[in-house]
Structure 1
Amino acid sequence: MKAAVIVFPGSNCDRDMMVGIEHSLGRKPEMVWHKETELPDVDFIAIPGGFSYGDYLRCGAMSAHSPIMQEVIKKANEGVRVLGVCNGFQILTEAGLLPGVLMRNAKLKFICKDAHLKVENAQTDFTANYTQGQAIRIPVAHHDGNYFAADDVLKGLEDNNQVAFRYCDEAGNVTEEANINGSRNNIAGVFNENKNVLGMMPHPERLCDPQLGGTDGKPLFDALVEALS
């Protein structure tokens, strides 16, 4: 598998993403600056978290118009796997690659802690190394992670199995109390219709090494390597 990480001004999880991919792939991905207009020949593109352009205007809105994003959109439409985490998820929605928007957290506070996620679709290249309904622990760090989509869009996501993860408790129960940011239907991550683009607010790259306190994020990258190598 050949991989690339897109780097924007204000990205601060790009190195974490690089290391997370390297743990599974065995070599570093290409790091691509946002002003580039071409991507190397890759099978997987990651858009990391952070505060691209300082989150001015609206989170991800400016980055969605960076020169490299036209190439990312083209590659995604050709079937290349694309992962957007946190700010990367916001960028993917702003670029039109994923439905919905990310709004301010319901309690208007920055959230930085471990969260539990229920795996809702384990039949994709991203999630094949998890089991259906499995509860995993993944860190979150966001102020604008409240996922919103209109009723008809939400119904389409549910009907097409495009919900990847939901916020849950440690036992895997999807409850209002477990919904850390107010997201509709407890949604923590969604796929596009073809399941080759995934956006999620929690950070799997931050739990890929036992020295970081766990490895619940590593199966995501392992699955991609197995599917694309």
Structure 2
Amino acid sequence: MRIGVVTFPGSLDDVDAARAVRLAGGEVVPLWHADAELPAVDAVVLPGGFSYGDYLRAGAIAARQPLMRAVVDRAHAGMPVLGICNGFQVLCEAGLLPGALTRNSHLHFRNRDQALRVERADTAWTSSYAQGQTITVPVKNGEGRYVAADADLDRIEGEGRVVVRYAGGNPNGSSRDIAGVTSADGRVVGLMPHPEHAVEELTGPSVDGLGFFTSVLQGALSA
């Protein structure tokens, strides 16, 4: 399975995301933000970082780059897309996911190992987990507070679109402890924590994050 990993100016975790894809057994296809056409890939990962220095709003400029127009079109056609941290911000800015990411409520950058509860284990990116499972992956963000209008939050909750929720403390003040959400079809997922930093015992707090990457591969094999 060919999984594209996009690099924007200011991406920091594209190499880490690519390594996670390889460890899961996928073939990495490097993608450049300024390219107008998306090559033949089965899924796309938007990595973490500070694209365009977080000017205007985090992810706002990256969401309007040429490659993202192709990603949005392919996502609407059913291609799986994963957005991690800054990638989550880009997905919200591009309109592929509901809500927005704003400055942490305590106004501090937060970097720590974080417990998450898996709320949806039937998306393209979470099928390797069990619903209700607790996993531990790092979180590192300054603008990671997930927000939406109360009516929109009720709708997101009612439609079962919360994928992961913070457990054991909310690191950024996100509404209803929401750490990640999915599109209505379960193909597009965004989350603020970093599963690509929890894929090897030597360097991560766990290998709990690898499931995001094996999930999309297993989904392709079973399709």
Smaller-chain TM-score bracket: over 0.9
Structure 2 counterpart of 1:36, one-letter code: D
CA-based RMSD of the aligned residues comes to 0.9
Trace 1:169-180 onto structure 2 (pairs within 5 A). 169=168, 178-180=169-171
Trace 1:72-151 onto structure 2 (pairs within 5 A). 72-151=71-150
Deviation at 1:125, TM superposition (A): 2.2
Equivalent residue, structure 1, for 2:40: 41
Over 2 Å off, 4+ runs: none
1:23 lines up with 2:23 in the alignment: yes
Equivalent residue, structure 2, for 1:227: 219
Equivalent residue, structure 2, for 1:58: 57
- In structure 2, runs of 5+ residues without a counterpart are none
Deviation at 1:223, TM superposition (A): 1.2
Trace 1:199-218 onto structure 2 (pairs within 5 A). 199-213=190-204, 214-218=206-210
Provide the TM-score with structure 2 as the length reference. Answer: 0.96
Tell me how far apart the structure 1 counterparts of residues 199 and 78 of structure 2 sit (CA, whole Å). 26
Deviation at 1:92, TM superposition (A): 0.5
Q: For residues 44-99 of structure 1, what are the alpha-carbon distances to aligned partners after superposition, in whole Å with 9 as ceiling and x for unaligned?
A: 10000000001111100111111101001001000000000000000000011100
1:190 lines up with 2:181 in the alignment: yes
Equivalent residue, structure 2, for 1:175: none
Q: Report the number of matched residues.
A: 220
Structure 2 counterpart of 1:209, one-letter code: E
Tell me how far apart the structure 2 counterparts of residues 26 and 71 of structure 1 sit (CA, whole Å). 21
Tell me how far apart the structure 1 counterparts of residues 198 and 74 of structure 2 sit (CA, whole Å). 27
Provide the TM-score with structure 1 as the length reference. Answer: 0.94
Deviation at 1:148, TM superposition (A): 0.2
Q: 2:31 aligns to what SS in structure 1?
A: strand
